[in-house]
């Protein structure tokens, strides 16, 4: 089982922010969490608004809470809004049902953490999360 270290987390964030810059996105906030939903590292770019750390964390921790990406949670929320809303009240860091929260797995498919990105439109946030994970030599959950 690979361990998601602080060094990994810093590389994920640096690459995600670089990707955002290449794509000309708005200021981003990127959070990297351990499998239990606890922060390893977070960076919020200048002018990214003040709930962004909570949103980035909530995308990633929601993904870990339910075992699927926050994109899939967004689809669940479209179908079953009351169910997903109810889960938000029992998850200490909330559940943000919008793309940009991606689970990181090891070579055996075991969960080793998650990345959450927010600041631009959700599809772009997710692109940056994926770029960060790839740049650190890690794998996003399929």
CA–CA dist 125, 128 (Å, integer): 5
Q: Is the Cβ of residue 23 or residue 81 nearer to a second copy in the bound state?
A: 81
Q: Which two tokens stand for residue 136?
A: 């650190």
Q: What are the b/e assignments for 72-94, b being 16+ CB within 10 Å?
A: ebbebbeeeeeebeebbeebebb
Interface residue with a second copy, options 21, 22, 23, 85 (CB under 8 A): 85
x/- contact string, 117-136, with a second copy (CB under 8 A)? Answer: --------------------
Q: Is the Cβ of residue 40 or residue 133 nearer to a second copy in the bound state?
A: 40
Interface residue with a second copy, options 90, 107, 137, 142 (CB under 8 A): 90
- Torsions phi, psi for 109 (to 5 deg): 80, 10
Per CB under 8 A, does 81 bind a second copy? yes
x/- contact string, 10-49, with a second copy (CB under 8 A)? Answer: x-----------------------xxxxxxxxxxxxxxxx
CA–CA dist 107, 97 (Å, integer): 27
CA–CA dist 15, 76 (Å, integer): 29
Chain residues in the site for a second copy (CB under 8 A):
1, 3, 5-6, 9-10, 34-51, 53-55, 58, 64-67, 74, 77-78, 80-98, 110-111
């Amino acid at each position: 089982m690979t361990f998601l270290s602080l060094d990994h987390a810093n590389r994920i964030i640096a690459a995600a922010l670089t990707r955002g810059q290449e794509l000309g996105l708005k200021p981003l906030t990127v959070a990297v969490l351990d499998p239990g939903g606890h922060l390893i590292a977070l960076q919020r770019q200048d002018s990214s608004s003040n709930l962004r750390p909570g949103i980035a964390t909530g995308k990633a921790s929601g993904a870990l809470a339910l075992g699927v990406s926050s994109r899939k949670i967004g689809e669940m929320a479209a179908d079953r809004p009351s169910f997903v809303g109810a889960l938000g009240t029992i998850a200490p860091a909330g559940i943000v049902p919008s793309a940009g929260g991606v689970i990181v797995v090891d070579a055996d498919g075991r969960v080793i953490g998650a990345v959450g990105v927010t600041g631009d439109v959700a599809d772009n946030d997710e692109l940056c999360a994926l770029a960060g994970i790839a740049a650190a030599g890690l794998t996003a959950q399929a």
